Amino acid sequence: MSDHENFTIILSFFFRTMDDTLIAQMEFLAEDELVEIVPNMRMDPINLICGDFGPFRPQIATQVPLWLAVALKKRGKCTIRPPEWMSVDKLTQVLEAERDTGRVFQPLPFHYVEISRLLFDHARDDIPDIYMVKSLIEDIKDVRFHKIGTGLETISGRTNAVKLSNLSAMEVNIVRPFLAGALQTFYKLHNPEMVPESERRGSRRPQGADRGARRTLKPR
């Protein structure tokens, strides 16, 4: 197995074992994304800090934040229409384009991972061909992880920046520790004078243990 394949496996493992707090934070941000719902009740407009939504009329589609759509769905007040990019046809096109475009990432919503996960958890019955949709999204994530690994392989001592366009929130948070650590290491190797004195001392090999002052032996 090549180093690149090993790195891709590490990225996939890191994604599947990410800290629950970080995942919750990204899902919290994703919940502000707008989705379309079809209400089955009548309700006046809702005035929120982020905007006004409604009025709600039966069988008339309207857009609301994802968190509100999930709340109404849990109460049986609406159905949620999956975004256009979550259709089997669209995801198939994205997957084929990801495979055919080398290191170029296809544009997807910044929170596509979190949005799809929330809809899988709370609106399964509203997603046509849900198992195919889940499989396609997993395949897209795997192909993009492979591209991320390819992009990070180009890092060298002369690298000042790495451009990876169209990454999602989840992918950015996976890449960040690897990328930041690699660039910091290269920077220190080529600019030793910028390394703090405390770190340089810590990296030096100790010459010998400090035994302290020797005690004078009393004559017999």
The full set of domains in the chain, from first to last, is 82-192 (1.20.58.1020)
- The predicted model scores a pTM of 0.74
How large is the average pLDDT for residues 89-110? 94
The confidence band for 165, taking pLDDT boundaries of 50, 70 and 90, is confident
- Longest Cα separation, the chain: 106
pLDDT recorded at residue 184: 60
**Which among 166, 165, 145 has a CA at the least distance from the CA of 10?**
145
Assess whether the previous peptide bond of 107 is cis (omega < 30° from 0). no
Assess contact for 195 and 188: CB atoms under 8 A.
yes
3 state SS of 83: coil
pLDDT recorded at residue 21: 80
Assess contact for 65 and 50: CB atoms under 8 A.
yes
Q: Looking at the predicted structure, is the pLDDT value of residue 93 above 80?
A: yes
The confidence band for 200, taking pLDDT boundaries of 50, 70 and 90, is low
Q: What digits encode the pLDDT tens for the residues 28-37?
A: 999 999 999 9
Q: What residues contact residue 171 under an 8 Å CB cut-off, 6+ apart?
A: 113, 144, 145, 148
Q: Looking at the predicted structure, is the pLDDT value of residue 26 above 70?
A: yes
How large is the average pLDDT for residues 137-166? 76
Taking the C-alpha atoms of residue 100 and residue 26, their distance in angstroms, rounded to an integer, is: 29
pLDDT recorded at residue 159: 55
Q: Specify the range with the lowest mean pLDDT, choosing from 36-40, 61-65, 149-153.
A: 149-153
The confidence band for 216, taking pLDDT boundaries of 50, 70 and 90, is low
How large is the average pLDDT for residues 165-189? 71
pLDDT recorded at residue 193: 58
How large is the average pLDDT for residues 124-149? 94
Q: Looking at the predicted structure, is the pLDDT value of residue 94 above 60?
A: yes
157 is written with which tokens? 């001592």
